[in-house]
Structure 1
Amino acid sequence: MSTDTPTSEHPLAAVAPPTAPPSRRRRSLLPILGILVSVVALAGVVWWATKQEAPTFPSTAGQISALIGAIGLYALATVVRAERWERLLKDEGATPKRVDMYMLTVIGYMGNNVLPARAGDAIRVFLAAPRANASKRTVVGTLVAERLLDVAVLLVLFVAVGYGLLGEVGGNSVELIAVLAVGGAVAAAVGWRLISNNEKVHGALAPIASATLGLRKAHHGARLLVMTLLIWAIETGVWMATGAAVGFNMGVIEGLYMVALASVFSMIPSGPGYAGTQDAAVATGVKALGGTGGTAVSYMLMLRFVIVVPITILGLILLVARYGGIKNLRAARAEARS
C-alpha cells in the first residue's frame, strides 16, 4: 500500500484560498476548549488539594517496591498496546515492524502528555504511515478502532463494577452512561448506513472505518477484544500498585472502578495528559472508596508520576534518537491542522 501524498490528502490544495477555511477554524476551537476545561478543572483540584492534609510519598521498602512495580506494569500495558496496534495494521494489509510499533506507541503517549488535542496520535499517524506502507487514513482507522475497543471495555467495566458490585459508589450516573452508550452505538450504526449510501463520502471514509469494521471478523475481533481486556487488567494493576505505594490499598474491584471512572472522566475534552479531568476523577474515586483528602492528593501525585514521567522521557529520547526529533513534532502538528 502506498503512503498518502499531499495531493491525495488535499485534492483542492492548489486552488484553496490563502486564508483558513471556516471548518478549519471551527476545528481549532476544540483544543482551546480542552485547554480551558483543563485549566478550570485543574484550578479546582489545586484549590481543593490546598485544603487537605499534606500528601505523603513512598518511604518504606514495600511502598517503594510497589511504586517500581506500578511503573513496570505500565510498561507492560504499553507493550500490549503496541502489539494490538500491530495486529490492527496487519489486518489492513500494512507491513509494520514490531520495533516501530513499540517505539511509536511510546512516542504517541509522550505527545499526548505534552501537547493538546491528543497530538500524539497525529505523530503516530505521521511517522507510522510510511514505515508500515499504509495510507495515513488507514493508520487513523486503526487508532479509531483502538479507541472504540477501549471505550467499549471501559464502559462495560464502569457500569458492571460501579452499579452491580459497588452499588451506591457509582451513583445514578451509571444508568445515564449506559443509555448514552447504547444511544451512541445506534447513532453510529445509522450514521454509517447513511454514509454508505453516499458514494463520495463513503469513498473518503472507508479507509478510516475499515479497521473498525474488520472487528466483525470473529477470530480477529475476539483476539483484539482479549488484548484490550488484558490491557485494562494490567492498567488496573498499575492503579492498585500506585495506591499501595501511598498506603491506599485497594482490591481488584476497587481498582477496576478507579480505572473505569478516571477513563470516563478522560472522555471530557481536556488539555495535555488529561490534566484536571483525570485528577478530579481520582479525587472523586478515592473519597468514594473511603480515602481521606490527603490520601487522594498523595495518590493523585504519585499516579501522575507513574503514568506520565517515565513514558514521556523515554518518548522524547526515542523521537530524537530515531525519528528526526522535534521537527517531526512540528510537522505532525501541521499535518493535523491541515
Structure 2
Amino acid sequence: MSSSTGGRNLVKVVPGLLISAFFLWYTFKGISFSQIRALRLAHPVWILGVLGFTLASYTLRCVRWTRMMRSTGARFTVCARVLMTSLAANNILPFRIGDVMRIFTYAPDLGASPSVILSTVILEKLLDVFVVGLIFIATMGRDLPVKIRHGADIAVLISVVGLLIFMLGAAHLEAPLRRIFAKLPANKFVQKLEHWLLLAVDTLRQQGIAGNLFLLLQSFTIWICEGMIFLTAIHLVGLSTDVLGPWEAVSFANLSYMLPSSPGAIGTFEWAVKSALASHGTPHAPAAVFGLAIHAWLLVSITGAGGLIFLIHRFKIHNHKPLLEEIETLPTELP
C-alpha cells in the first residue's frame, strides 16, 4: 500500500475514532469508577440465557444467509464460516471491510459472483433495519407528543406496506423501478443505487413469495433472540427497568451502527443503550455501565468466534499470507 493511500485511509479513520471518543465521554461523564465497579452478577443462572440466545441469534443469521444463497448451491458450513468471519472483521476493521471480504474474498468459496453475494448482503441489511426500526418505534418515546406518535405510526404503516409490496411483488418490480430511475438525474450515485436495488429485487424474485415471507419470519426470530440477550443480561445483573426497556435498548443500540464511528460502534452503542434504558426508568450510571458490559460481551463473543473460525480455516488450507496484504488487494468499489 502506498504512503499516499495509507494517509488517505488514516484521514478517513480518524473522524470515526474522534466520534467514538466523544460519545464515550458524553455517556460516562459524571460516572465514577466505583459506579462502574458496582456492576455485579446478581443472578448467575441467567448466564445460560445470555449464552443460549447469543448462540441462537447468530446461528439463525447463518441459516438465513444460507437460504439467501440457495441459488448458488453454497452449503451451510461455508456460509456460516464466511458470515461469522465477516462479522468479526467488521468489529475490528474500518470501512465495513468484513462485508467487502464477504463479497470479494470469499466469492470463490461460495461459488458465486460478487454481484450475487452483494445482492444478499443488501437484502440482509434491509430486513434487519426494517425489523429493528419496527421494534424501536414500538418501544420508544412514551412521553412523546401525540402528533409525533401518530407520525411514527404512519411511518410504520408505510414501511410495512412498502416491504410487503417489495417482497411479494418482486417478480413485477424491475420494469417500474427502471422507469423511476430513468427519470432521476444521471450520476454515479443514482446508477449505483439502481444497480444495488435491482440486485436485491432479483434475489427476492428468486426466493419466491413463500421464501420471502420465511426470510421475514427468520428476521423477526433473529431479533427476538437478540432482544432476549439484552433481557437475560438485564436479569443477570439485576438492573431495574420496565418491560419495554430491553427492546428499545437492543433496537436503538443496533441502529447506532448507522452513525459514523470507530469499528464496532464503540461509544455510539453505549450511548444508545444508556439513553434507551434511562427512558424506561433505569438510573443513568447503571444504564451506561450495562451498555458497556453488553457491548463488550457481543464484541468479544462474536469477534472471538469469527476470528477462531477464520484462523482454523486458514490453517486447514495452509494460507500464510498476512491478512493486511489480502485486504490491500480488495477492490475499492462494490460491484
TM-score range, shorter chain: 0.7 to 0.9
Please report how far the alpha carbon of residue 280 of structure 1 lies from its aligned counterpart in structure 2 after TM superposition.
0.6
- Which structure 1 residue ranges, 5 or more long, are not aligned? 1-17
The Cα of 1:54 is off from its aligned counterpart by: 3.5
Question: Residue 154 of structure 1 is aligned with which of 100, 116, 132?
Answer: 132
TM normalised by structure 1 equals 0.76
Residues 155 and 260, structure 1, Cα contact 8 Å, conserved in 2: yes
Matched, 1:311 2:306: no
Deviation by residue 1:236-270 (Cα, 9 ceiling, x = unmatched): 10011111122115565332221122222221122
**Partner in structure 1 of residue 64 of structure 2:** 84
Map 1:116-127; keep pairs closer than 5 Å.
Answer: 116-127=94-105
CA contact (8 A) 1:67 1:245 kept: yes
CA deviation string 1:295-338 (max 9, x = no partner): 11331232023211122122222211103477345423541535
Q: CA deviation at 1:275?
A: 0.7
**Number of residues paired by the alignment?**
310
Q: Which moved more, 1:320-329 or 1:147-156?
A: 320-329
Contact 2:271–2:288, Cα closer than 8 Å, also in 1: no
2: CA distance, partners of 1:326 / 1:47? 43
Give me the whole-angstrom Cα distance separating, in 1, the residues matched to 2:267 and 2:157.
24
Q: Residues 158 and 174 of structure 1 are in contact (CA less than 8 Å); yes or no, is this contact kept in structure 2?
A: no
Report what 1:262 is aligned to.
253
Q: CA RMSD in A?
A: 4.0
For 2:107, the aligned partner's letter is A
Identity %: 21
Asked if 2 retains the 8 angstrom alpha-carbon contact of 1:162 and 1:169, the reply is no
Residue 253 and residue 291 in structure 1: after superposition, are their counterparts in 2 closer, same or farther (change >3 A)?
closer
Whether contact under 8 Å (2:230, 2:250) holds in the other structure is yes
| Aligned: 1:39 with 2:39 | no
Matched, 1:211 2:206: no
| TM-score for the superposition, normalised by structure 2 | 0.77
Deviating more after overlay: 122-131 vs 75-84: 122-131
Structure 2 unmatched ranges of 5 or more: 167-172
Alignment of 1:75 with 2:55, yes or no, is yes
Residue number in structure 1 paired with 2:284? 293
Alignment CA distance shift 1:178-1:42 (3 Å): farther
Q: Give the Cα–Cα distance (whole angstroms) in 2 for the partners of residues 325 and 44 of structure 1.
A: 42
The verdict on how the C-alpha distance between 1:149 and 1:287 changes in structure 2, with shifts beyond 3 A counting, is same
- Following superposition, the deviation at residue 51 of structure 1 comes to 8.3
- Evaluate the alpha carbon distance shift between residue 243 and residue 287 of structure 1 in structure 2; reply closer, same or farther with a 3 A threshold: same
The 5 A counterparts of 1:245-284 are 245-250=236-241, 252-284=243-275
Report if aligned partners of 1:161, 1:253 keep a CA contact under 8 Å in 2. Answer: yes
Match of 1:97 in 2: 75
Select the residue among 83, 96, 116 that pairs with 1:138: 116
Contact 1:119 1:333 (C-alpha < 8 Å) held by counterparts: no
Q: 1:114 aligns with which of 66, 78, 92?
A: 92
| Secondary structure of 2:35's aligned partner | coil
